[in-house]
A and B are shown apart, each in its own frame.
Chain A
Amino acid sequence: MDQLKNVLEVEKLSVTYVDRGLFGKKTSFQALTDVSFEVKRGEILGLVGESGCGKSTLSKAILGMLDSAQVTGEIRHFTPRPQMVFQDPFGSLNPAKTVGWILEEPLRVYGKYDAAERRRRVLDMLERVGLERAQASQRPGQLSGGQRQRVSIAAALIRRPRFIIADEPVSALDVTIQAQILDLLWDLRRDLDLSYLFISHDLNVVYSICDRVMVMEKGCIIEQGTVDEVYDHPKEEYTKKLLSAVQP
């Protein structure tokens, strides 16, 4: 095995959205301030915070998906092609294409495999995420929310990345389906040597799957530690407030 220790290191990352009006009137909003952390190999790192606190901006910044924002600081990836699983399995899959086509696309773009090999990998991945081979010919509109999220996960994993950002991957699903998807993510981590940055506003979900957790407030990470440390002995007032809102 390789000597990989961390899959991702982020140092003093700040992101400012600048909106230039029609007549040069500039308005800016600092979405992230001096964010530093690392994701260790094989761990699931949780990121919690209220909506609008900068969680999604962080995930987009890490994957270079911010087109029109000022980004400062350092982001170091130690694995190739990190991928993302999106919150809304209705928007993240192309409704005009079949499941098989969607899963094959990253391989087609990569261009190293012939059609038979691509097909083999697609069917293999379908089974791995708990779907039937026959579902390759269905369109996303014919699948349930949970099945779609399985397809999203399969699409993210098809080129075998080692690091995945899951941005609220179960928030749009029923509670019973949530548990199944969390189980799947847990199993895949073990089988495929994956590490996750797991973003959620649901502290129960984070508690059930994450090893460590970071708490974010207004674009800053105010507290981080193992799940037990943070949940049992929160240091910050804000963390205590978040926790008291969930636990009975």
Chain B
Amino acid sequence: MINTKDKTFRAGAGITLFMLALILLGALWTPYDPNAMNAAEKMASPGLRHLFGTDNFGRDIFSRVLQGTGATFFIALCSVSLGLLAGLLIGGLTGYYGGWADEVLMRLNDSVTAFPSLLLALVLIAVFHSGKYNIILALGVIFIPTFARIVRMEVAQQKALDYVANAKLMGVKDMRILFVHIMPNILPVLLSTVAIGFNNAVLAEASMSYLGLGVQPPDPSLGRMLSEAQTYLLRAPWYALSVGLAIVLLVLGFGLLSEGLGGDGRA
């Protein structure tokens, strides 16, 4: 089902594992307190004392990248899980039962998809106010339609196969057929969709925090830091570069992973 010898898959898995290790490290230990300011060491260039240098408040950028990657990862993970769970439920039920509920929900789905997703997230943030958990909610909601549509399509396809008819004939209940018989068969398709969705979530979180709507200062997140780094791009280019590197590696890892799993690696 999953070809673990695939080079693309291996490269993606390698990068992702490396980033996960860094995130774990950031959660347990950082060289400096990520939020501790130090007036004596403002804008220090990268070196042995500060691996990625320091920012305009003298905070250690390496420590902040470690924690910021963790924050971004956490938000992406939660919002994708939220979208996936709701998508599985909505897509599974509509795909399995069809009928008018299917029509209504899918048209609703289309209308949500018709909005540019970031704009919709901005609207939701405007309603719920900014903050870490509201970002998760907003991103989760905009992910639901994508997952719901894919799950629905796959379930509808599987439902027409004889093994489902056979299970019904043997007296298996509808919910068991849907979740125990059908779901394992759409897993490979879902895995690559999840990896793509995760990428979009990382980028979306970065964009939202960049706009000042996500993680609030002084807590670090990759998007938040990129927005701060912009001001000092010429005086401290290492700031933007190190944050950008973390985003690129995070997205690249999952992109390669999803391509290795059989998706096309694009949104």
Contact = CB atoms under 8 A, between A and B. Distances in A.
Interface of A: 63, 65, 81, 83-84, 86, 88, 91-97, 105-106, 109-110, 152, 155, 159
A97 B170 CA distance: 16
A155 B169 CA distance: 11
A92 B170 CA distance: 12
B3 to A, nearest CB: 14
21 contacts: A63-B169, A65-B168, A65-B169, A83-B169, A84-B166, A84-B169, A86-B165, A91-B161, A92-B165, A94-B167, A94-B185, A96-B187, A105-B167, A105-B170, A105-B172, A106-B170, A109-B170, A109-B171, A109-B172, A155-B166, A155-B170
Interface in B153-174: 161-163, 165-173
A109 B168 CA distance: 11
Contacts of A110: 171
Contacts of A93: 163
Contacts of B173: 109
Contact of B166 (A81, A92, A95): A92
A94 B171 contact: no
Contacts of A155: 166, 170
A150 to B, nearest CB: 15
B165 A94 contact: no
Nearest to B176: A109
A96 B167 contact: no
Nearest to B186: A96
A96 B184 contact: yes
Contacts of A97: 181, 184
Interface in B166-198: 166-173, 176, 181, 184-185, 187
Contact of B185 (A65, A88, A96): A96
B163 A91 contact: yes
Contact of A86 (B166, B171, B176, B184): B166
